[in-house]
Amino acid sequence: MGNRYFGTDGVRGVVGESPMTVDFALRLASAAARVLAPAGGRVLIGKDTRLSGYLFESALEAGFVAAGVDVQLIGPLPTPGIAYMTQRIGCRFGVVISASHNPYHDNGIKFFDAAGTKLSDEVERRIEALLDEPVVTRPSQNLGRATRIDDRRQQYQDFCASTVPAGMDLGGFKVVIDCANGAAYKVAPRVLSALGAEIVPIGCSPNGRNINDACGSTSPELLQLTVPGVRADVGIALDGDGDRVVMIDALGRVVDGDQLLFILASARQAAGDLRGPVVGTVMSNLGLEQALGERGIDFRRTAVGDRYVLAALQETGGTLGGETSGHILCLDKTTTGDGLISALQVLAAMKRAGAGLAELAAPMPKYPQVMLNVKVERRFDPTADDAVRLVTERAQRDFDGRGRVVLRASGTEPVIRVMVEGHDAAMVKRAAQEIAAAVERAARAS
C-alpha cells in the first residue's frame, strides 16, 4: 500500500496547501519523534534558502521539543550535509526542509536516520500511522531543548574537501560554481577555494524567492554562457538543496548525470577502485549502458529515485550509481547523493588524467532523448489507458529494438513524464509528442 504523504523524497507540496502547512509540520514532528526517538535524543534540522523554511523550521522545532527531543538547528546546508552531520554529531535522526529543484513557493520535509540514510517505506508508514493522533507534549521536566549550531558547518566543508585524493589540490582550475541560490551557496565556493581552485560564483545570492530561478542544475543556461565567457575550465551547477549536479565543459556544453557517471566509472575502473555494478535508472541514456558495456562494466537499471539506486547498490555491493538529472551516489565517499562531492570526484578525474571534461565524456554516445511533462490534476497510471498503450506500442514497433519509451508519474510534481529515446532524433520527437498528447487526453478523461 502506498504512503499518503511521503513520496519518493519525503513530503513535498505548495506552501500553505496540504500537506505543507504549519499544522501538518507540527503533527509530523510529533509523529516522527515517537517513531525515531521514542526515548528522546537529538535531531538535526537543516534547510535550504526558501523564505518558508523559517516557518517550517519553527513548527518542527516546537513539535520535537514538545515530544522530548533535543533540537540542533544548523541553518542552510545541503541535504547531503545534513545526512553527514546527523552521523557526525550523533543525532537519532536528521530533517531537511527543502523542495530540492522545485520553485520557491514549494517546500518539503525529508528525513535521514542515524546512519545518514533515507527512511525505509516501512518506517515512513509507521510515522504516517501516527499523524492523526494528538500532538504529544511531555511534562515540563521532560521537554527537549533547542540549540543553534551554525558554526558546525565547517565540519561538513572539511569532509567534502577530504574526498579528493590525498595530496591532490585543484590548483590550476578555473571553476564557475552555480549554487542555484540555494543551500550550498556558502559551503561550495568555500570548499573549492580551500582546495586551490580559482572560482567565479554565480547563483550564490539567495533572497528567499530566487532559489532555482533561472539558475542551477535545472536551468544551466547562464552557466553555459559564463564558463566560456570567463575562459573557465569547467562549470558546476548544483540544485537548490545541493544533492544534484550537472557540469559544463570549457565550450559551454552541458555534461549531464549519465555522462558524469560514465566519467566516474571509467576513472574508478582505471584506478582499480570500481566495485560491483554501476547502477542507473530506467531513464538513463542507452549510450551510458553501451559505453560501460564496451569497457566490461556491468550496468543495472532501477525505478526512478535515488532510494532505488541506493537499494540496488547495497544489494549488489556496488558503490557508484545515479540518475540523468545529476543525482549521483558515490558510496565509497558518502551515504547519499551529494552534488558537491560528485563534482569534486569529476575534477579529481580531470586532474589525474590531465584532460578536460569534454575529452573524458567523449567516449559515451548520447542517444537522442525527449522528455515531456504532462500536467495532471491527480496521479494515474498512463500505461493502463488503452489509447496510450496503443500509441506507445506503435512507437516501439517503429523503433524496432533501437529505442525505448518510459511513462511514469512523477513522485515530486503533479505531472506524468513521457520519455522517448532512440537512434533517430526526428522519430523520437514525433513519438514523444504523440504519446504525450494521448496521455493528456487520458488525463482529461480520468
Name the class of domain 11-153: alpha beta
Which residues have C-beta within 8 Å of that of residue 291, sequence separation ≥ 6?
262, 363, 364, 365
Which of 1-10, 315-324, 390-399 is most confident? 315-324
> How confident is the prediction for the chain on average, in pLDDT?
95
Per-residue pLDDT averaged across 256-273, rounded?
97
User: Which CATH homologous superfamily contains domain 156-254?
Assistant: Alpha-D-Glucose-1,6-Bisphosphate, subunit A, domain 3 (3.40.120.10)
User: What pLDDT, on a 0 to 100 scale, did the predictor assign at position 316?
Assistant: 96
User: What pLDDT, on a 0 to 100 scale, did the predictor assign at position 402?
Assistant: 82
Name the class of domain 256-337: alpha beta
Of these residues, 30, 52, 98, 100, which one is catalytic?
100
User: Which CATH homologous superfamily contains domain 369-445?
Assistant: Alpha-D-phosphohexomutase, C-terminal domain (3.30.310.50)
Per residue in 202-227, pLDDT tens? 999 999 999 999 999 999 999 999 99
Q: Which residue has the higher pLDDT, 181 or 376?
A: 181
98, 108 contact by CB (below 8 A)? yes
Per-residue pLDDT averaged across 404-420, rounded?
87
Per-residue pLDDT averaged across 104-123, rounded?
95
Whole-number Å distance between alpha carbons of 160 and 147: 24
Per residue in 57-85, pLDDT tens? 999 999 999 999 999 999 999 999 999 99
Q: What percent of the chain has a predicted confidence (pLDDT) above 70?
A: 99
Per-residue pLDDT averaged across 334-357, rounded?
97
Per-residue pLDDT averaged across 171-200, rounded?
98
Query: Any idea where the domains of the chain sit in the sequence?
Result: 11-153, 156-254, 256-337, 369-445
Per-residue pLDDT averaged across 401-411, rounded?
85
Whole-number Å distance between alpha carbons of 24 and 132: 10
Per residue in 78-91, pLDDT tens? 999 999 999 999 99
End-to-end CA distance of the chain: 21
User: What pLDDT, on a 0 to 100 scale, did the predictor assign at position 2?
Assistant: 61
User: What pLDDT, on a 0 to 100 scale, did the predictor assign at position 8?
Assistant: 77
C-alpha cell at 186: 556558502
Whole-number Å distance between alpha carbons of 407 and 442: 13
User: What pLDDT, on a 0 to 100 scale, did the predictor assign at position 268?
Assistant: 97
Residue 37 reports pLDDT greater than 90: yes
User: What pLDDT, on a 0 to 100 scale, did the predictor assign at position 1?
Assistant: 46
193 is catalytic: no
Per-residue pLDDT averaged across 402-420, rounded?
86
Equal CATH topology for 156-254 and 369-445: no
Per-residue pLDDT averaged across 257-283, rounded?
96
